[in-house]
Structure 1
Amino acid sequence: MTSFDFDTVIPRKGTDAKKWAAYPADVLPMWVADMDFAAPPSVIEALRARVEHGVFGYGLPQDAFRQQIVDDMQAKYGWTISPDDIVFLPGVEPGFNMALKSETKPGDGLLIQTPVYHPILTAHRNWGLKSIEAPLVATDNGYEMDAEQLDAAMARSRAFLLCNPHNPTGKVLTREDLSAIAASAIRHDVLVIADEIHCELLFDGRRHIPIASLSPEIAERTITLMSASKTYNIAGLKTAFAIVTNAALRTRFNASRLGLVDSVNVLGLEASRVAYATAGPWRDALLTYLQGNRDYLQAEIARRFPAIRIVPAESTYLAWLDCAALDLPEAPQSFFLTHGRVAFSAGADFGSAYGKYLRVNFGCPRALLEEGLDRMERALSSFAASAR
C-alpha cells in the first residue's frame, strides 16, 4: 500500500501564498481554506511534464476530460450527466456570480443558510438582491436545518445559493434535507445554485449527494458547481466546472460571462484531469489524516478550553468554534491574533450574528495544529493572569 506524507511541514513563506503572506512573519496562519500539504505526487509529476513541454497557450478542455467527469459523477454519486452538461470555469465563485447575473434581477430574494462562506454571504450585493437568511441551528447532534423556516424563506426568494458540504460548519446535508430543499424549490419556482466544492471531503463514511441527482425536476432548475481544487489542494491553478443539465439554462449561464469570466488555466486543466484520474488513493489517505486532525482538535478543545463549544465537522477541513463563553474583551479572531500571534477566520465574516465565533483550518500537519492550540492556550493564560 502506498503511503503519503502529511506530517512534513513545507515552508510556504516567500511563495506568494495568500495564507502565509497576509500576516506578519511571526503569525501562524490557520484561516483561509487552503491546506498546507503538497498536491498528490501524480499531479506534481504531470505538472512537471507539462511545464517541460514549454508552451502555455490558451486551454480548451477536451472531450476525454469531459467524459472523465461524466464517469466520475456516475461512479461516485450515481449521477448520470452528459459531456455537454459541463461548463468549465476558473472558479466556483465566478460560477455562482454568473448564475446570479443570468437568472436574477435587482430586488429578487437570494436565500442562504447562515453562517456561510463570505463570498456567498455577500453575493446579493453584487446584483442588487435581497438577502434572505435561513440559519442552521446548532444542536448537541450537530447543525440542523429547519425545513419549515427554509420553505417560508424559499417563498420569498428567486434563487437559493446552497453550500453543501457547508462552510464553515462542516455540515453534510442528508438525503432528507436535500429532498425537502428540492421539493420547496420546485414548489416556489426557485433556482438552486449549489456550491459543492468540498464534495470529496466527507468524514465517518458519509457520502455526498448532489442535489441535482435527486430527480429530473430538481436538475432542471439547478446549477451545480464543483472543482478538484479543495480536495487535491490545487486552488491556485484556477480550474472548476459547472454541471447544468437544462440546455436553455446552460446557454444563458454561459452567456453571462460577459468578457469578465475567462477560460480555465491550462496547468489547472492538467492538474484536475490527473487528480480525478489517479489521485484516489492520495485522497483516501488525506481523509484519514484530516479526520485524525478533526478528532485531535475536538479532544484538545474539550481538554484545554472547555468553555469553547465545537460541533464535530462532518466534512471539509474547517472547524467552527463558538467562543462566546470565553468572555473576551474583543472579537476572538482579534484577541488570538494580538495575544497569541495565530490567525483564524473571524466569525463575523460568516454573518453578523457570529462575531464571537472562529473558523479554524485544520488542513495542516499535526505539528502546526498543535502549535496553534499552544498559542491559543498561552494567549488565554496571559489574559487570565492580567485579569487577576
Structure 2
Amino acid sequence: MTFIFDQVMDRSHTDSAKWELYGPDVLPLWIADMDFATAPVITEALHQRISHGIYGYTQPGKDLEQLIVDRCRERYQWEIQAEWIVWLPNLVSALHIATRAYTTSDESVIAPVPVYHHFLIAPKNADRELVQLNWTDRDGVPVLDLEELDARLARQESKEPRLLLLCNPHNPNGRVLSQAELQELEQFCQKHNLIICSDEIHCDLILDKEVRHTPFASLSDFAREHTVTLMSASKTFNLAGFASAYAIIPNAELRARFQQVRDGIVPPPDMLGFIAAKAAYSEGGDWHEALLEYLRGNHDYLLQAINAIPGLTMKPLQGTYLAWIDTSALGLDDPQAFFLEAGVGLNAGAVFGDKDYVRLNFACPRSVLEEAVGRMAAAIAARG
C-alpha cells in the first residue's frame, strides 16, 4: 500500500491546538503532533468501534497488553510481563506521578537540561529541588556530562538525589543514547542508588539507521528493578488527541507506589485510545515504515537548508521529528518571537532550558517545510 505524506491537509475547524494558536498567517511547526493522517487501519478500527453505538467504561484487553509484550521482545529484545503495565492517559502525568511517588521534600530530582519542559515542571510543582545533568559536546555530538554532575554531588551542593528523569530518545536534541552511554549512566545510578523514570515515547521514531533504541530497563537486573519505563503509540502514529499511554514497572513495590499516587487523580486511557493503540501495534507496521522514510527525507532536507542560512546551525538528529536549531550567532533576544513575526511558529528554546535555541517540528508535508524555511531565511536576510 502507498501512503501519501505530501498531501497538505486542512486542519482548520478541528480545534487543533497546533494550528489555532497563531492563526492562518503563521505556519505552526511547534507542538509535537504530525500533519499527517494516521494509518488507515487505525481509522478503520475507530470507525468500526464507533458504529457499535455504546461507549461505556473500557478496559485495554489482554490482547493489547500482549501486543505490547510482543513488541518489546521483537523490537528491543526486552522481555516484559503484562502485569508490569500501568495504564495512563499520557506520559506528562507519569513524570509528575513519579516525582511524587519516589521522592520526598528532603530529596532532589535529576534531569538532563535542556529537556522537554515537563521534566522541569514536575519537580517544581512537587516542591522538589531540580539538579541539572548538563549536556557537553564531544566531537560535535551532545553527550551527558556525568563526570561534572558527579563532582557537584560529591561537593553536596544539593539535596540527596533520589530520582533521575531520563528522556531517550532525547527531546529536544534528538540523541538516541548508545548502549555504552546507557551502561555508563546505569553505573552512575547504581552509585547514587537512584530510581529512573525513563520517557521513551519517541523510541519508534529512529531516523539514523545506524543506531537502535535500547530500553534503559533492559540493561541489567539493577536497571529492571529501579526503572519506570514510559511508552505510548501516540507520537509514532499521530494519536496525541487520544488519551492512551502506559508505564512498564517490573518492580512490584515501585509499581504499587506509582499506582497509589495515580489512583483517583489520573484517569485511565479512554476507549478510543485503546482501540487506536491496538490497531497501531497490530496492523500499523507498513505505515510506520513509510512514515520513517518520509521523515528521514524531511530531516535531510532541513539539515542542509538550515545550515545554509547564515546564523543558524542544526546538528543531525538520531531520533524524533523535532529539530533543535542554534540561533546564538544571530544575537537575538527572543528567537521564537523573531521567527513568529516572519510567519513561522516554533517552540522557544528557553522553555527547555536554552534561550539561544528554537525547536522545529518537521513532521509535515515537504512543501510546508520548504515554505517555513524560506520565511526564516528571508527574515534573517532582511536584518542586513
**1:239 is aligned to 2:244:** yes
Displacement, 1:8? 0.1
CA contact (8 A) 1:36 1:365 kept: yes
The one-letter amino acid of 1:334's match is: A
Distance in 2 (CA, whole Å) between partners of 1:39 and 1:154 is: 45
Aligned equivalents of 1:149 and 1:173: distance in 2? Answer: 18
Mapping 1:247-326, distance limit 5 Å: 247-303=252-308, 305-326=309-330
**Aligned alpha-carbon RMSD (Å):** 1.3
1:314 deviates by: 0.7
Alignment of 1:83-162 (within 5 A): 83-152=82-151, 156-162=160-166
- Structure 2 distance, partners of 1:180, 1:348, is 28
2:383 is paired with a residue of what secondary structure? helix
Q: CA deviation at 1:306?
A: 3.4
CA distance in 2, matches of 1:293, 1:19: 19
Greater CA drift, 234-243 or 130-139: 130-139
1:379 aligns with 2:376: no
| Deviation digits for residues 158-182 of structure 1 (CA, Å, limit 9, x no counterpart) | 1000000000000011101111111
Q: Which runs of 5+ in 2 are unaligned?
A: 155-159
| Paired residue total | 378
**Alpha-carbon displacement from aligned partner over 1:188-214 (angstroms, at most 9, x marks no partner):** 111100000000001222211000001
Give me the whole-angstrom Cα distance separating, in 2, the residues matched to 1:295 and 1:86.
36
Structure 2 Cα separation of the partners of residues 144 and 217 of structure 1: 23
What is the deviation of 1:139?
4.6
Alignment-derived partner of residue 197 in structure 2 = 193
* 8 Å Cα contact 2:323-2:360 kept in structure 1: yes
Shift, 1:83, TM fit? 0.7
User: Does the Cα contact within 8 Å between 1:320 and 1:360 map onto a contact in 2?
Assistant: yes
User: Is contact 2:339–2:376 with CA below 8 Å preserved after alignment?
Assistant: yes
**Equivalent residue for 2:364?**
364
CA distance in 2: counterparts of 1:162 and 1:277, whole angstroms: 28
Tell me which residue corresponds to 2:31.
32
Letter in 1 for 2:177: L
- Return the TM-score normalized by structure 2: 0.96
The residue that corresponds to 2:350 in the other structure is: 348
Query: Are the equivalent residues in 1 in contact too, given 2:96–2:123 (CA < 8 A)?
Result: no
Q: Structure 1 residues 153 and 55, CA, compared in 2 at 3 Å: closer, same or farther?
A: farther
1:72 & 1:252 partners in 2: Cα distance?
26
Q: Deviations over 1:100-140 (max 9, x none)?
A: 11111113111011110011122111111111001112455
Q: Which amino acid aligns with 1:91?
A: N
Partner SS state of residue 161, structure 2 = coil
Sequence identity, in percent?
A: 43
Residue 349 of structure 2 aligns to which amino acid in structure 1?
Answer: G
* CA distance in structure 2 between the aligned counterparts of 1:264 and 1:67, rounded to whole angstroms: 17
- Per the alignment, residue 42 of structure 1 pairs with 41
Aligned-pair distance for 1:378?
2.0
Q: 2:217 aligns with which of 202, 206, 212?
A: 212
- The offset of 1:301, in angstroms, is 1.2
Distance in 2 between residues matched to 1:150 and 1:368, nearest whole Å: 41
Measured in 1, the distance between the counterparts of 2:186 and 2:381 equals: 48
The structure-2 alpha-carbon separation of the partners of 1:154 and 1:80, relative to structure 1 and needing over 3 Å to count, comes to: farther
Supply the AA of the counterpart residue of 2:360: V
Q: Assess if the C-alpha contact under 8 Å between 2:133 and 2:146 holds in 1.
A: no
Deviation at 1:42, TM superposition (A): 0.6
SS in 2 for 1:217: helix
* 1:59 and 1:263 in contact (8 A); partners too: no
The answer for the alignment partner of 1:337 in structure 2 is: 340
Picking from 164, 168, 173, the partner of 2:177 is: 173
